[in-house]
Structure 1
Amino acid sequence: MKESVSTSDTAAVARRFEGTQSPHVGSFRYLLADDTWEWSDAVAAMHGYVPGTVHPTTALLLHHKHPDDKKKLAELLQAVRTTGEPFSSKHRIIDTAGNVKSVAVIGDRLLDRDGIILGTSGFYLDLSEAIEEDIREGVDVAVSALAGARAVIEQAKGILMVVYAVSAERAFEVLAWRSQETNVKVRALAEQLVAEAAGGSGAQPIARTEFDHLLMTLHDRVPEA
Structure 2
Amino acid sequence: MHGYRPGEIEPTTELLLAHKHPADREHVAAAFARSIERGEPFSSQHRFIDTSGDEHKVMVVADRIDDDTGVAVGTAGFYIDLSGTLAQNRRDTIAEELPEMIEARAVIEQAKGVLMRMYRLNASQAFDVLVWQSQQTNVKLRDLAEQLIAEIPALPPLRPVW
Provide TM-score, normalisation by structure 1.
0.33
- Which structure carries more relative contact order (alpha carbon 8 Å, separation 6+)? 1
